[in-house]
Amino acid sequence: MVEVINKYETIFIVNPTFDEEKRNGIIEKFKALISENGEITNVDEWGKRRLAYEINDLNEGYYVFIEFTAKPSFPQELERIYKITDGIIRDIVVRQEA
């Protein structure tokens, strides 16, 4: 049976009030998690940007964009971990078209 591997991209927004060390720790945590379950093809830290609307009394967030390949079951687990991680304001995982 052929193993299915899909291309995905994810963006997550880290709380901008965190110091650089704590923010980098969160980013590295997710880069390691994705690497363990797939292969990262691109990481782009967009930095602090204004949010489209206020979230939890915050007007800014630290954006991180990652492209990766993984099995179809992994994105659901990734989203679950985003939801239980302190400091993640918003997240999205999208499957890229082949």
**Per-10-residue mean pLDDT, the chain, length 98:** 88 95 96 96 96 93 97 95 95 90
The token pair that represents 84 in the structure block: 């239980």
The confidence score (pLDDT) of residue 54 equals 94
First to last CA, the chain: 20
Residue pair 60/16 in contact by the 8 Å Cβ criterion: yes
Query: In whole angstroms, what is the distance from residue 95 CA to residue 36 CA?
Result: 18
Domain ranges of the chain: 21-34+49-60+78-90
